Amino acid sequence: MKIGNRIVLALVAIAAGALIFPTVASSSKVETPQVQADTKAKFATAAAEIRKQMVPGGRFEFVTKQEFAKVNTSLDSMGALFDKYDTLTNMDQVVKVALFNEQEVVNSILARRDDLRLICKPRRSTGTRIPATDCRTYGDIQRERADTHNYMDKFYQGYQQRQPLTPDQ
Protein backbone atom coordinates (compact mmCIF):
# COMPACT_ATOMS: atom_id res chain seq x y z
CA MET A 1 0.00 0.00 0.00
CA LYS A 2 1.37 3.41 -0.89
CA ILE A 3 2.03 6.06 1.76
CA GLY A 4 -0.66 8.37 0.35
CA ASN A 5 -3.28 5.60 0.61
CA ARG A 6 -2.22 4.83 4.18
CA ILE A 7 -2.66 8.48 5.18
CA VAL A 8 -6.11 8.65 3.59
CA LEU A 9 -7.10 5.39 5.30
CA ALA A 10 -5.84 6.70 8.66
CA LEU A 11 -7.78 9.96 8.26
CA VAL A 12 -10.96 8.07 7.41
CA ALA A 13 -10.49 5.84 10.47
CA ILE A 14 -9.96 8.88 12.72
CA ALA A 15 -13.03 10.64 11.32
CA ALA A 16 -15.16 7.53 11.78
CA GLY A 17 -13.92 7.16 15.35
CA ALA A 18 -14.73 10.79 16.10
CA LEU A 19 -18.27 10.24 14.89
CA ILE A 20 -18.82 6.98 16.79
CA PHE A 21 -17.12 7.55 20.15
CA PRO A 22 -18.78 10.85 21.20
CA THR A 23 -22.13 9.12 20.77
CA VAL A 24 -21.06 6.24 22.99
CA ALA A 25 -19.56 8.56 25.60
CA SER A 26 -22.60 10.83 25.77
CA SER A 27 -24.98 7.90 26.26
CA SER A 28 -23.14 6.82 29.41
CA LYS A 29 -23.31 10.20 31.16
CA VAL A 30 -24.84 10.13 34.63
CA GLU A 31 -27.11 12.91 35.78
CA THR A 32 -25.58 14.98 38.57
CA PRO A 33 -27.77 15.02 41.68
CA GLN A 34 -29.29 18.38 42.50
CA VAL A 35 -31.99 19.69 44.76
CA GLN A 36 -34.09 21.99 42.61
CA ALA A 37 -37.56 22.58 43.92
CA ASP A 38 -39.85 25.56 43.51
CA THR A 39 -42.88 24.23 45.39
CA LYS A 40 -43.43 22.55 48.72
CA ALA A 41 -44.61 19.29 47.09
CA LYS A 42 -41.61 19.03 44.74
CA PHE A 43 -39.27 19.75 47.62
CA ALA A 44 -40.86 17.12 49.86
CA THR A 45 -40.43 14.51 47.11
CA ALA A 46 -36.80 15.50 46.47
CA ALA A 47 -35.93 15.57 50.18
CA ALA A 48 -37.47 12.14 50.78
CA GLU A 49 -35.55 10.68 47.82
CA ILE A 50 -32.26 12.15 49.04
CA ARG A 51 -32.76 10.84 52.57
CA LYS A 52 -33.64 7.42 51.15
CA GLN A 53 -30.43 7.35 49.09
CA MET A 54 -28.11 8.28 52.00
CA VAL A 55 -28.42 4.83 53.62
CA PRO A 56 -26.03 1.91 53.02
CA GLY A 57 -26.62 0.60 49.52
CA GLY A 58 -27.99 3.94 48.32
CA ARG A 59 -26.49 6.30 45.78
CA PHE A 60 -25.09 8.60 48.49
CA GLU A 61 -24.10 5.90 51.00
CA PHE A 62 -20.57 7.28 51.40
CA VAL A 63 -21.50 10.59 53.05
CA THR A 64 -19.68 11.05 56.34
CA LYS A 65 -21.58 11.47 59.61
CA GLN A 66 -20.85 15.20 59.60
CA GLU A 67 -22.03 15.55 56.00
CA PHE A 68 -25.13 13.47 56.76
CA ALA A 69 -26.00 15.84 59.61
CA LYS A 70 -25.29 18.89 57.44
CA VAL A 71 -27.51 17.61 54.60
CA ASN A 72 -30.35 16.82 57.00
CA THR A 73 -30.04 20.23 58.68
CA SER A 74 -30.10 21.98 55.29
CA LEU A 75 -33.08 19.92 54.10
CA ASP A 76 -34.92 20.73 57.35
CA SER A 77 -34.16 24.45 56.93
CA MET A 78 -35.38 24.37 53.33
CA GLY A 79 -38.50 22.48 54.43
CA ALA A 80 -39.22 25.14 57.05
CA LEU A 81 -38.97 27.85 54.39
CA PHE A 82 -41.38 25.97 52.11
CA ASP A 83 -43.74 25.41 55.06
CA LYS A 84 -43.81 29.15 55.63
CA TYR A 85 -43.97 30.37 52.00
CA ASP A 86 -45.27 27.31 50.07
CA THR A 87 -43.72 28.31 46.71
CA LEU A 88 -40.60 30.04 45.47
CA THR A 89 -42.59 32.89 43.94
CA ASN A 90 -44.03 33.80 47.38
CA MET A 91 -40.55 34.25 48.88
CA ASP A 92 -38.82 37.61 49.03
CA GLN A 93 -35.21 38.01 47.83
CA VAL A 94 -33.59 37.46 51.26
CA VAL A 95 -35.46 34.19 51.79
CA LYS A 96 -34.65 33.04 48.24
CA VAL A 97 -30.95 33.64 48.89
CA ALA A 98 -31.15 31.62 52.12
CA LEU A 99 -32.95 28.81 50.26
CA PHE A 100 -30.41 28.76 47.43
CA ASN A 101 -27.51 28.74 49.91
CA GLU A 102 -28.99 25.68 51.62
CA GLN A 103 -29.52 24.05 48.22
CA GLU A 104 -25.88 24.67 47.36
CA VAL A 105 -24.71 23.01 50.59
CA VAL A 106 -26.78 19.90 49.81
CA ASN A 107 -25.84 19.81 46.12
CA SER A 108 -22.11 20.14 46.79
CA ILE A 109 -22.08 17.30 49.33
CA LEU A 110 -24.17 15.01 47.15
CA ALA A 111 -22.06 15.72 44.06
CA ARG A 112 -18.87 14.92 45.99
CA ARG A 113 -20.21 11.68 47.51
CA ASP A 114 -22.17 10.47 44.49
CA ASP A 115 -21.71 6.71 44.07
CA LEU A 116 -21.88 7.09 40.27
CA ARG A 117 -19.37 9.96 39.95
CA LEU A 118 -16.69 8.98 37.46
CA ILE A 119 -13.08 9.61 38.50
CA CYS A 120 -10.43 9.38 35.78
CA LYS A 121 -6.68 9.36 36.36
CA PRO A 122 -3.95 9.35 33.73
CA ARG A 123 -1.37 6.57 33.88
CA ARG A 124 1.71 5.56 31.98
CA SER A 125 2.11 1.96 30.91
CA THR A 126 5.50 0.36 30.96
CA GLY A 127 6.99 -0.04 27.52
CA THR A 128 4.91 2.57 25.76
CA ARG A 129 4.78 6.32 25.45
CA ILE A 130 1.07 6.34 24.76
CA PRO A 131 -0.76 7.75 27.78
CA ALA A 132 -3.74 5.85 29.08
CA THR A 133 -6.58 6.84 31.38
CA ASP A 134 -8.16 4.70 34.08
CA CYS A 135 -11.74 5.62 34.99
CA ARG A 136 -13.68 4.21 37.92
CA THR A 137 -16.73 5.29 39.86
CA TYR A 138 -16.44 6.81 43.31
CA GLY A 139 -18.50 3.93 44.68
CA ASP A 140 -16.12 1.31 43.25
CA ILE A 141 -13.12 3.12 44.74
CA GLN A 142 -14.75 3.38 48.18
CA ARG A 143 -15.87 -0.27 48.17
CA GLU A 144 -12.38 -1.41 47.21
CA ARG A 145 -10.91 0.75 49.99
CA ALA A 146 -13.34 -0.76 52.53
CA ASP A 147 -12.63 -4.31 51.32
CA THR A 148 -8.87 -3.75 51.62
CA HIS A 149 -9.30 -2.27 55.10
CA ASN A 150 -11.43 -5.25 56.19
CA TYR A 151 -8.93 -7.72 54.76
CA MET A 152 -6.04 -6.04 56.57
CA ASP A 153 -8.00 -6.02 59.84
CA LYS A 154 -8.69 -9.77 59.52
CA PHE A 155 -5.08 -10.46 58.60
CA TYR A 156 -3.80 -8.46 61.57
CA GLN A 157 -6.24 -10.17 63.97
CA GLY A 158 -5.11 -13.58 62.72
CA TYR A 159 -1.49 -12.52 63.17
CA GLN A 160 -2.13 -11.41 66.76
CA GLN A 161 -3.91 -14.68 67.65
CA ARG A 162 -0.93 -16.84 66.65
CA GLN A 163 1.36 -17.91 69.44
CA PRO A 164 4.94 -16.63 69.26
CA LEU A 165 7.54 -19.22 68.42
CA THR A 166 9.75 -20.39 71.26
CA PRO A 167 13.44 -21.17 70.75
CA ASP A 168 12.87 -24.96 71.06
CA GLN A 169 10.29 -25.09 68.24
pLDDT at 88: 87
Instruction: With beta carbons less than 8 A apart as the criterion, state whether 78 and 99 touch.
Output: yes
Dmax over CA atoms of the chain, in Å, equals 85
Residue 38's SS3 state is coil
Instruction: With beta carbons less than 8 A apart as the criterion, state whether 115 and 60 touch.
Output: yes
pLDDT tier, 59 (very low <50, low <70, confident <90, very high otherwise): very high
What tens digit of pLDDT does each residue of 143-161 get? 999 999 888 888 777 666 6
pLDDT tier, 54 (very low <50, low <70, confident <90, very high otherwise): very high
**Distance (Å, whole) CA 87 – CA 95:** 11
Neighbours of 76 (CB within 10 A): 12
Task: Report which residue type is found at 5.
Answer: N
pLDDT at 30: 58
